[in-house]
Amino acid sequence: MSVGKESRDGFASRFGIVCAAAGSAIGLGNIWRFPYVVGESGGGAFLLIYLGFVLLLGIPVMLSEFVIGRNAKRNAFGAFKKIAPRTLWPVVGIIGIVAAFVILAFYSTIAGWTLHYVYLSVVNGFKGADALTVTEIFVSFQTSGAFPVFWQIIFILLTAIIIISGVKKGIEKYSKILMPFLVLLLISLCIRSLTLPGSVGGLTFLFNPDFSKISSTVVLSALGQAFFSLSIGMGALITYASYFPDRTNLPVTSFQVSLADVIIAIMAGVAIFPAMFALGMLPEEGGPGLIFMVLPNVFQQMPGGYVVSIAFFVLLSIAALTSSISIMEVVVAFLTEEFGIKRPGATIITVVAAAFVGIFCTLSWSTFEHVSLGNRNIFDVLDFTASNVLLPLGGLLIVVFVGWYMKQSQVKDEMTNMGILKLMVFMIGYYTRDTRTDEDYTRIRVLKLKMFEVFLFIIRFLAPIAIAIIFLNGIGLIKSL
C-alpha cells in the first residue's frame, strides 16, 4: 500500500465509495443495453451465463484496476508512470484516457436523448401515440439536428457542474443522492410492472433458463456484457480507486460494486419484461430501439403510464449521469495532475473538447448522415473504436500488468491493506475411498485455496484469454472464422 503521498482530494465514506464506483458501473449498459440483449439471447439462459462471467472474471478485473489506482494514488496515466517508470506501460493509461474521452463524446448523445424523453414524458408527448407514431417521434427527433445537440450540451454541462466541485464535495456528494434515488425509482417501476395482469410471463422468460437457446453467440454476448457493464478498461475505476482511503477493503468493494451492477441490470429486466408480456409484446421485438421506440408505447397502454414514463426516463438519465461523471473525471484528473491545470480549467477544456466531438456524433443522422466509414456513421465509428478496440485492449493490458508485472507482494499488500485484512479461504471438500484397511470408509479431504491464489490465477490466465476473445469477436475475426 502506498504511503507518504501528498494530500489529494478523496472519498470520505465507505457508502460514498460504493455509490460512486457503482454509479460508474451502472449506466445505460444496465438499463438500456442489458434488457434488449437478454431479449435477443433467450432470457434466463443468458442471465445465468452473464452472472457466471461477472463472478469469475468481472470482479477480479475490477479488483485489478482498484489495486493499480490506490497503490499509485494517481490518474490513469500517472498510475502506470509511477508504478512502472521508464517503461512503455504508461501507454495503457493513455489508451484508457482516449477511450474515456471518445466514450464521453458519443455517450452524451444517447444521454441527451434520455433528457429529451424526460421532457416528452412530462408534457405527455406520447399521449394517444401508437407504435408507429412513437417510432416516428424518435426518428424525427434524432434527425432534427438542433434539438439533440441542445440536450447533449445540457447533459455535458450537468456532468461538469458535479465534476468541477471536486471528489468529496462533487462526485461523492451527488453519487450518495443519485444512486439511492435511482434504486427507489427502479423498485417502484418493478412493483408497477409486476402488478399488471399477465406479467408473470416476463418473469418466467427472465428467470427460467432455456438451455436450448445457448449458442456461441449467446456466450460471447454474455461475456461482453459482463465486461463492459462494469466500466472496465477505460481508467475510470483506476481513477476512482486513487481517491480511496487506505482503509478501504478492495476485495469487498469490488464485490459490492459488481453485485450492485448485476442487481440493477436484473431489476431493469424485471421492470421491462413483465410489462411487455402483459401487453402482448415479445422480448425480441425490442432490440436496440427498445427504450426509445418500444417502451413509450408500452407505457401508454398501461394504467398510470404517464407517471411510469416520467419515472423511467428520469431513472435512465440518472444512470447515464452517474456513469458520465466517472468518465469525465478520467480526463479531468489527467489534465490536473499531469499538466498542473486547476480543476475548473481542466473541466472546461474537457467539456469544450467533448462537446465539439460529440456534436459530430449527434449529427450523424442529420447534417453528417452521408459521412461514413465502412458503412458506419460518425457515432458508430467512435462507438466501435471504443467498445471493440480501446476498452478490450486496455482491459487486457491491465490484467497482464497486475498479473505479470507488479510484484505479488505489492498486489497482496493492496488487497490485504498491508496484512491487516485476512483474505478468504475457499474450502473444497471431496470424498476418497481409503483401502488401506479391510474396512471401507469414506474420508473427507479438504483442499484450501486462498483467495489471492485464485485471483492471481484468474488475472494471469483466464482473464487475458476471455478479454482476447472479446477483442477478437468485437473486431469481427471470430465471426468471420
* pLDDT, tens digit, 9 for 90 and up, residues 29-47: 788 788 878 887 888 889 9
Give the containing element (helix H, strand E) for 433: strand 425-434
Q: What are phi and psi of 29, to 5 degrees?
A: -65, -30
Print burial letters for 415-442: b (CB count within 10 Å at least 16), e (below 16): bbeeeeeeeeeeeeeeeeeeeeeeeeee
DSSP state of 448: E
Q: Which residues contact 238 (CB under 8 A, 6 or more apart)?
A: 65, 66, 68, 69, 75, 76, 79, 93, 96, 398
- Residue 56 burial class via C-beta count within 10 angstroms: exposed 0-12, middle 13-18, buried 19 and up: middle
Percent of the chain at pLDDT > 70 equals 91
Q: What is the number of other CB atoms lying within 10 angstroms of the CB of residue 34?
A: 24
User: 440: pLDDT confidence band, cut at 50, 70 and 90?
Assistant: very low
C-alpha distance across the termini of the chain, in Å: 45
* pLDDT, tens digit, 9 for 90 and up, residues 380-391: 999 999 999 999
* pLDDT, tens digit, 9 for 90 and up, residues 276-335: 888 887 766 555 567 888 889 889 888 899 999 999 999 999 999 999 999 999 999 999
Task: Tell me if 412 is assigned to some domain.
Answer: no
β strands within 99-138, DSSP E? none
The model's pTM: 0.92
Q: What are phi and psi of 6, to 5 degrees?
A: -65, 160
Average pLDDT over all residues of the chain: 90
Q: Is the pLDDT of residue 446 over 60?
A: no
User: 441: pLDDT confidence band, cut at 50, 70 and 90?
Assistant: very low
Q: What is the number of other CB atoms lying within 10 angstroms of the CB of residue 462?
A: 14
DSSP string, 291-355: IIIIHHHHHHHSTTHHHHHHHHHHHHHHHHHHHHHHHHHHHHHHHHHHH---HHHHHHHHHHHHH
* pLDDT, tens digit, 9 for 90 and up, residues 225-237: 888 888 899 999 9
Task: Tell me if 213 is assigned to some domain.
Answer: yes
Task: Tell me if 169 is assigned to some domain.
Answer: yes
How far lies 370's CA from each of 67, 124, 365, 377, in Å?
A: 45, 33, 8, 8
Rounded-to-integer distance, Cα 14 and Cα 7, Å: 19
- Provide the CB-side half-sphere exposure for 437 (13 A, CA): 5
Task: Tell me if 124 is assigned to some domain.
Answer: yes
Give the mean model confidence (pLDDT) for residues 445-461: 82
Task: Tell me if 472 is assigned to some domain.
Answer: no
Q: Are strands 425-434 and 441-450 parallel, antiparallel or unpaired?
A: antiparallel
CA-wise closest residue to 174 among 70, 350, 321, 32: 321
* pLDDT, tens digit, 9 for 90 and up, residues 157-194: 999 999 999 999 999 999 999 999 999 999 999 999 99
Domain count of the chain? 1
Rounded-to-integer distance, Cα 65 and Cα 87, Å: 19
Q: What is the number of other CB atoms lying within 10 angstroms of the CB of residue 389?
A: 16
- Its domain, for residue 111, covers 14-376
Q: Which residues contact 271 (CB under 8 A, 6 or more apart)?
A: 186, 189, 190, 192, 193, 312
* pLDDT, tens digit, 9 for 90 and up, residues 455-478: 999 999 999 999 999 999 988 887
pLDDT at residue number 141: 95
Domain with 97 in it: what CATH number? 1.10.4160.10
* pLDDT, tens digit, 9 for 90 and up, residues 104-141: 999 999 999 999 999 999 999 999 888 889 989 999 99
Print burial letters for 102-116: b (CB count within 10 Å at least 16), e (below 16): bbbbbbbbbbbbbbb
Q: Is the pLDDT of residue 3 over 50?
A: no
